[in-house]
Amino acid sequence: MNPTPPTKQLPAVWAWVCIALGVFLVLIALGVFNDQEAGTNAPLWVVALCGIVFVIGGCMMLTRQNSRLNNLLAGLICLIFAVVGAWVALFAPPAGFSGGIPLLSAEANVTLARWVFGAGAVLSLLLCGYAVRLAQRSRP
């Protein structure tokens, strides 16, 4: 059995760019950068979670691939995706949805979107479980 071939690693500058973008989003969520004219359809904790995803992604770029830490961070990203998707599916205001299938009513398009986000949340939760199992099996 051949070991996995080494992959070309991205320059560390991209990891730090992701971390900086994530910190910026978290600071927006904390109210450090306050723009009264910018309207959002999501609560600030959702914005903070999205920023945390960027920070975790940057940290994953800095860690060794196929490590226990990397698998756990991947599971955490999937868990955050599941939480955000579940929030959209269950609690997002209908005015925040746009687009959809042209022949369906607006209410039917919102219902369809909620089902799609809910399915994505379930899938992300399953991927989180898979990443945690990989972390349990990997060498320290």
pLDDT digits (tens, 9 = 90+) for 6-37: 666 667 899 999 999 999 999 989 989 876 65
Reported pTM? 0.84
CA-to-CA separations, 117 to 24, 89, 103, 105, 136, in angstroms, rounded: 26, 5, 20, 18, 29
Top-ranked range on mean pLDDT: pick from 17-21, 40-44, 63-67, 105-109: 17-21
CA-nearest of 23, 97, 93, 84 to 54 is 23
Give the contacts of 63 (CB within 8 A, at least 6 positions apart).
69, 70, 73
Mean pLDDT for 65-73 is 90
